[in-house]
Amino acid sequence: MGAVGTNAIRLEGAEKLCGRTKFIDDYTFEDCLYGVTLRAAIPYGRVKRISLDPNFPWDECTVVTAKDIPGKNFIAAIENDQPALVEENVLHPMQALLLVAHPSRQKAYEALGRIEVEYEELEPVLTIEDSLALKAVLREPDNVFKDVRIDKGDITSGFAAADVVVEGEYRLPHQEQAYIEPNGMAAWLEKDGALIAAGSMQCPYYVHKALLHVLGLPAEKVRVIQAATGGAFGGKEDYPSMLAAHAALLAWKSKRPVKVIYDRLEDMASTTKRHPALIRHRTGVTRDGRLSAQDIEVLFDGGAYSTMSPVVLTRGAIHASGAYACPNVRIRAKAVATNSPPNGAFRGFGVPQTMFAAELHMDRIAEALRMDPLELRRRNVLKEGSSTATGQVLRRSVGACDVLEACAKKGRYAKKVKECAAWNRKAKNATWRGAGLALAYHGGGFTGGGEDFYASRAGVALEADGAIRVLSASTEMGQGASTVFAQIAADALGVPFGWVSVQTPDTAKVPNSGPTVASRTTMIVGRLVERAARRLKAELEEASGRIPKTRPLWLKAARKFLAGRGRREIISQYERPPGIHWDDKACRGDAYGAFAYAAALVELEVDKTTYEVRVRKVVTAHEIGRAVHPLFAEGQIIGGIAQGLGYALCENAVYKRGVMQNPHFTDYIIPTALDVPPMEVLILEKPYDYGAFGSKGLGELPMDVPAPAAAAALRQATGKWFFDLPILPEKICKALHEDHI
């Protein structure tokens, strides 16, 4: 029996379970300094003067300012607009002004308190509306990081054909990634002058690129190694480049190893979040429930610098019409600048925002038509032969109908709605109950030509001792990527799973596989591993006949195959599947090689006295092509649903003048194990020809359905619509009593 499709033992599981895994703060370095960051105390303005207290022993410290940067003062990303350290202009609170390192971490923090900064403060831009109104120009000429326009059909004729037009506005908040391990990075210089950086990250080659620019070094003089990473959820995609730059600059100036490890407060207050959004829908529909026109405006708050905003916005916009076929669509999307810390990647990458609006809007349409929400979805759901908003014709592996029907059937949707209605008619009950349904789709891999641009590479190596090793820059951050890669390589080679190991991502040892983001790791990079392993198998069979099934025979065959050459390394490079065409300028064509699909039914109740919400049960169906590791897939789904429920019901990031007021888990409330409801998870498979063993992306998809399903359930429970998240007890109380205020 092969490894793919089985619940293989997690490769790093024993080390983590026994506490032997070393995260970056567990490492000790001889003669190490501890780095800390002086941050701006204003949202917008200019630094006039920085003064160091002359009574503090600064000779014990290493201090780095923008003037000490040997290369260029920017963090390389999609755009190079964000400085590593402020030179003069401050665009957000918590922006790094200077760095201090000391042999004592406590003394380093004490040093920050002995620095005085004089500012010229300006009135900040803190909302999407103020940014668009050009209250101040933060980014020339119009404060817009990215402008996406999607057109399909004729919107005017589409509305002319409509019998009913439904309009709605939806607001989405920041959301904190809440990974277990805060950001941390170490850097040191080798004797030959090479700079080594190691730490908690998703994208080693992003960090590598950033360090080349900041330090002004050639590629061979910079090496980046991933340490064990305690969760990320997108929050360690781009920010580790900033943190690595800070550690590296301190190491460069001091000529000593430096560790920069954030505590929870600094991490939450300083690093990227999910983009807040304002989304407006205007939809035309016929009396029998057929969509005729969708006019959608998407506005994202990017924060002070571009970071990931252009690609987050593009993905969000492409998905904004929902998993439905509509002949006439117009989508206008912008990401704008404000004076808050930059927003960036978070699981779902713009889709949870636009999918919340799309799905809740479908429920409002159903109510306007007096039609069952499930039936409305059935009449419009994407099928094989349907086209998306970008004009992409879905030719294969289309599971939208499958997940919708499976979820409705397993969750007994119609019966649950009736039961909740009957419950709510009994005045003596202490709670109201509701059931809500949502459907979503999510493209796997980079948007449009992104995979072509990165031309990712991954492969396998047969070592001199007979070891089989997967070579990839894709990182293990708790999701099970290493184990899945070993499963894929083992089955492609035709050897037992236990014979395969995975190389720790290290830019000196693995090729650039692109970042560990975008639901691409198994589908895209896993496919490269599969292709490389199949090539190695073919070479071995040509040299030795059949692949040996016992370890002694394998070692003998490997020695014979490798005679005179030490090791054999095979690397595959991404190749676009046939029939994929994309026009990036027009945002038109095949946005993704394949989509994965999900539906969720959320049952909840609201306490009539406290207005607290308790989710009673979730039934969800996900169509993911092929589940390489079914248990990991189920875990991804359960975790994503829990995060999505937190987004919907309790995670409330409070900001004042661009500063997060609750950067700690005392009052930024995330769901705990006690809050996660019983879940029934259905995994459906419609294999995709160009994913590893038929797989499609999964990691982000579960985030897309819980929030709209919960909001729909609250509509039935309370009789009120909630168009902005999170839906806290205070909001429910206010909505139920607003007529009496």
CATH of the domain at 52: 3.90.1170.50
The pLDDT of residue 738: 83
| Residues 325 and 367 reside in one and the same domain | yes
Mean pLDDT estimate for the chain: 97
Taking only the tens place, the pLDDT of each residue in 569-583 is: 999 999 999 999 999
d(CA 489, CA 472): 12
| Residues 50 and 113 reside in one and the same domain | yes
| Residues 430 and 287 reside in one and the same domain | yes
| Residues 609 and 712 reside in one and the same domain | yes
Predicted TM-score (pTM) of this structure: 0.97
d(CA 622, CA 627): 10
Residue 565 binned pLDDT confidence (cut-offs 50, 70, 90): confident
- On the question of pLDDT at 508 being above 80, the answer is yes
Which residues contact residue 568 at a Cβ distance below 8 angstroms, ignoring those fewer than 6 apart? 461, 462, 536, 539, 561, 562
Residue that has been written with the tokens 């803190």 in this structure: 126
Select from 242, 193, 226 the least CA-distant residue to 508. Answer: 226
Q: What is the mean pLDDT of residues 332-353?
A: 98
Q: Is the dihedral of CA 364, 365, 366, 369 positive or negative?
A: positive
Residue 77 lies in a domain: yes
- On the question of pLDDT at 106 being above 70, the answer is yes
| Residues 522 and 378 reside in one and the same domain | no
Q: What is the mean pLDDT of residues 671-694?
A: 97
Contact 176, 165 (CB under 8 A): no
| Residues 283 and 408 reside in one and the same domain | yes
Q: What is the mean pLDDT of residues 471-476?
A: 98
Q: What is the mean pLDDT of residues 342-369?
A: 98
Beta-sheet strand order (sheet of 33-39) = 62-64, 96-102, 33-39, 258-261, 184-189, 195-199, 222-226
The pLDDT of residue 564: 81
Contact 589, 392 (CB under 8 A): yes
CATH number at 668 reads 3.30.365.10
CA atoms within 13 A on the CB side of 220: 1
Select from 259, 253, 244 the least CA-distant residue to 108. Answer: 259
- Which stretch of 33-47, 301-315, 546-560 has the lowest confidence by average pLDDT? 546-560
Cβ atoms within 10 Å of 503's Cβ, excluding its own: 16
Of the candidates 504, 539, 573, which is a domain's last residue? 573
d(CA 424, CA 430): 10
The pLDDT of residue 340: 98
Residue 175 lies in a domain: no
DSSP 361-388: HHHHHHHHHT--HHHHHHHHB--TT-B-
The pLDDT of residue 544: 85
Positions of E strands within 103-252: 115-121, 144-152, 164-172, 184-189, 195-199, 222-226
Give the residues across from 120 on adjacent strands: 46
Of the candidates 517, 539, 573, which is a domain's last residue? 573
Phi, psi of 344 (to 5 degrees): -150, -140
| Residues 441 and 473 reside in one and the same domain | no
- Looking at residue 68, its amino acid is D
d(CA 17, CA 732): 41
Residue 93 binned pLDDT confidence (cut-offs 50, 70, 90): very high
d(CA 79, CA 350): 19
The number of residues in the chain equals 741
Residue 237 lies in a domain: yes
Residue 491 lies in a domain: yes
d(CA 320, CA 330): 10
Residue 178 lies in a domain: no
- On the question of pLDDT at 741 being above 90, the answer is no
The token duo for 213 is 């620019």
What angle do the packed helices 309-318 and 351-369 form, to 10 degrees?
Answer: 30
Residue 263 binned pLDDT confidence (cut-offs 50, 70, 90): very high
| Residues 593 and 704 reside in one and the same domain | yes
The pLDDT of residue 739: 66
| Residues 196 and 315 reside in one and the same domain | no
d(CA 618, CA 436): 10
Q: What is the mean pLDDT of residues 632-658?
A: 98
Taking only the tens place, the pLDDT of each residue in 317-331 is: 999 999 999 999 999
Taking only the tens place, the pLDDT of each residue in 130-153 is: 999 999 999 999 999 999 999 999
| Residues 311 and 288 reside in one and the same domain | yes
The single-letter DSSP state of residue 522 is I
Residue numbers of the domain that contains 419: 277-447+587-740
Q: What is the mean pLDDT of residues 550-555?
A: 94
Give the residues across from 63 on adjacent strands: 100
Contact 177, 346 (CB under 8 A): yes
Residue 1 binned pLDDT confidence (cut-offs 50, 70, 90): low
The token duo for 29 is 């370095």
Of the candidates 522, 544, 573, which is a domain's last residue? 573
d(CA 26, CA 482): 22
Residue 706 lies in a domain: yes
Residue 265 lies in a domain: no
d(CA 640, CA 423): 29
What angle do the packed helices 526-544 and 551-562 form, to 10 degrees?
Answer: 80
Q: Structural domain tally of the chain?
A: 3
- On the question of pLDDT at 384 being above 70, the answer is yes
| Residues 17 and 43 reside in one and the same domain | no
Residue 379 lies in a domain: yes
The pLDDT of residue 740: 59
Contact 340, 303 (CB under 8 A): yes
| Residues 605 and 721 reside in one and the same domain | yes
